Chains A and B, each alone.
Chain A
Amino acid sequence: MTAAVVEGTRPGWRRPSPLFARIVRMEIRHSTFVWGLPLLAVLFLFDPFRTASAYPDLWPLRATVVLNKFWPDCVPFAAGFSAWAGSREGRRHVFDLLGTTARPAWTRQLCSFAGTLAWGNAAFGAGAAVVYVKTATSATWGGPPIWPVVAGAVALTAVSALAFTLGALFPGRFTAPIVAVGIMVVVLEAFREAVSMSGGPVGVLSPDGAVPPMDSGIFYHVLPDVSIVQVIFFAGAALGAIGLLGLTPRAGGVGWRGALAATSAGGARLRTLATAVFAGGVALAVGGFGLAGTAQGTVLAGTQIPLLHGSGSGSSAERPIPYTPVCGGSASFPVCLHPAYRSYLGPAVKSFDLVMSELAGLPGTPVRATEVAGQALPAIVLEGSADGIVAGTPPVYEFSMDDALALVPDPAQFQDGFEQDIAHAVIVGPLGRLVPVPGSGDTFEPDTGNPAQQAVLNGLLRAIGSQPYPGNQSAPIAGAAARFAALPTATRHAWLVANLAALKAGHLTLSQIP
């Protein structure tokens, strides 16, 4: 037995040739992508990183930045430098020299492509890693979502492969900028248009715009269906472009006629392989596109592709993620949050202190506050632009931190909202009602209360330093509210204890407000 056999030349198995590794290493060392990295880094810091840092430290939310912000930044770089690498042989007039070498053109072109792709995907991966590391330092629950990174990397590979092939087909010094701008406009604008129009398979396939529904990934599992379909489609597109590269005339000779006459160095077998890769890629891309066309929205788990789940339905995919809430506050008014929002527990507890001190002991005042998924709240909450609702017996304030934060990790964002929700519920009652309108769904009719209720509500909010409740702010109401706010806390509370029932029933007028 020879040494080569001992080293592992089993039938049907070959060690990877160091030849490819050496050429790819050489191509990586000389890739022009390196020159674009500083600019890409600046773009990353300016937009994706800044945006991610400004978001609440929730894994699913921060992960959206990788696709919605950083992926679009990477596209023109990947396209431009890949097209530049693809057009190299033509620009440098080395066809004759390379045409006499034994290795097929496809081989060396794939090595060149790999050199550029390595930089592009490394840059994308590095950006995602920075976002994730930053999130890991502050997130209190969950872990890094992998699918956005995988889908983005595969989509970037497809963009690079297409651009490289275009560069090889049309070599020239202007090819790279034209391809970079062209692909950026076509890919990004087409995708964004489709997403904004909530339109069909193109919208589903867009890596730029795959925003998960509220609280998904925190209260409910997010289905990876969209990412899987994106990977299928873009992997197919990448293979199609790579196969086309193997079928181009440049791969085999000089000019179409020369190529057809001489065929590539690998001959018919290589051409068959290139054809198979091309056909397989196109089939995969068409399959992915077809699957995207069957997408169905689910309320809690994002977009579902039924074929990926056998006969599963949308509701079966909406699986809640078990968790143990974290609670704080006093025994008389505990405040509980999902552990993903643990870092907001202190500010959340504090944000209820003032309003609860004003309303303690009044009928209808909630006995605790509990965070729930945004989708679990009645539609009236979203329609009324509230953060939550007081409901049940005994009354409980159920709220959504997703709504309360509105992507801004600032407790000042939610303190006013919580105070308004609770004060309105105790003094006025329900937020309003949904009125069915034939042909156009429901319309929200807010219940802002009568003038006396508005004056007391806004006076109380003013007294605790909160914003007035949205609605009528006429001078008489504002004057009465100012008078009520100026009362000592004990006087105000005593008046409410004595008059809340009549006020809530609508029996009091502005003149009766102290």
Chain B
Amino acid sequence: MNIELTNVTRSFGRNRAVDGVSLEVGPGVFGLLGPNGAGKTSLLRMIGTVLPPSSGEIRLLDRDPKNAAQRREIRRRLGYLPQNLGYYPAFTVVEFIEYFALLKDMPPARVPKAVATAVERVDLGARARARLRTLSGGMLRRVGIAQAIVNEPDLLLLDEPTAGLDPEQRVGFRALLRDLGQTATVVVSTHLVEDVGAACSEVALMDAGRIVFRGTPAELVARGEGHALGDAPMERGYSAVLQAARQGGVAA
């Protein structure tokens, strides 16, 4: 398993953002669904080694992130796209991705080719020399994705990756996700259920810091049969699971 979480919690003051989550995820594309404030981003930040858990155990890529040497090895093989992408406006697309490739400890000789490949995979070849300040929001999102995949990570964490992408780009991105999921563990946090249905082999639904559903997209759809709220089958499943969880029972 590339991700092993055992009873992980994370509190901010009195607010418990993640509440006793246990999860094992192997290779493939894993969707993390949930309403705003469900704890998806906090969970992703803990898996990304940015945020230490308040309690519980985390193992990533068979390594313990509490150990400095092992954490560094995890980070070499990690790709992360945060919900709000900060960037340096004066850097060009290539420079920004190269900067992260170097910080990810890639062998310098491999960096130029890896950067070129990442730029092409997100279809930014034509704007490779453009400064980031000149790019649109969707293009910046693609730059963020490129920096996340430049090191060909074994563990890729994407927080709202399709926000700002147009429909055509979104379709292309889903194809990229499926491709990446062939060899790596890809965790996609999103509130757009169609992304999950199209690209994920497995999905978890979070609410109030807990995982209230885990299964395949088809199983989530099945949960929505007969449920009225939602336009699409998966939306109905999403709503049904949340409603059940809030009425007192954890569906998973």
Contact = CB atoms under 8 A, between A and B. Distances in A.
Contact of B75 (A93, A101, A107): A101
Interface in B26-54: 45, 48-52
Interface of B: 45, 48-52, 67-69, 71-73, 75-76, 78, 80, 82, 84-88, 90-91, 95, 98-100, 102-105, 108, 111, 144, 147, 157
A97 interface: yes
Nearest to B103: A101
A19 interface: yes
Nearest to B67: A267
A216 interface: no
Given A96-B48, A100-B80, A101-B104, A265 B87 contact: no
A97 B102 contact: no
B51 A97 contact: no
B45 A96 contact: yes
A270 B68 CA distance: 10
Cβ-closest 10 pairs across A and B: A267-B68, A94-B86, A93-B86, A101-B103, A102-B105, A102-B75, A100-B80, A261-B52, A99-B50, A96-B82
Contacts of B157: 100
Q: Of A94, A97, A108, which is in contact with the most chain B CB atoms at under 10 Å from its CB?
A: A97
A265 B108 contact: no
A18 B108 contact: yes
Interface string A102-117: 1100011000000000
Given A265-B71, A268-B68, A22 B52 contact: no
16 contacts: A22-B98, A26-B95, A30-B88, A96-B50, A96-B82, A97-B82, A97-B100, A100-B75, A101-B75, A254-B51, A261-B52, A262-B49, A266-B68, A266-B72, A267-B68, A270-B68
Contacts of B86: 92-97
B212 to A, nearest CB: 26
B103 A254 contact: no
B45 to A, nearest CB: 7
Given A18-B108, A26-B95, A108 B103 contact: yes
A100 B74 CA distance: 9
A108 B101 CA distance: 12
A286 interface: no
Interface string A382-423: 000000000000000000000000000000000000000000
A96 B87 CA distance: 11
A269 interface: yes
Given A30-B91, A258-B52, A22 B108 contact: yes
B80 A26 contact: no
A62 interface: no
Contacts of B80: 96-97, 100
A93 B84 contact: yes
A263 interface: yes
A254 B50 contact: yes
Nearest to B153: A100
A100 B69 contact: no
A15 to B, nearest CB: 12
A315 B175 CA distance: 83
A267 B69 CA distance: 7
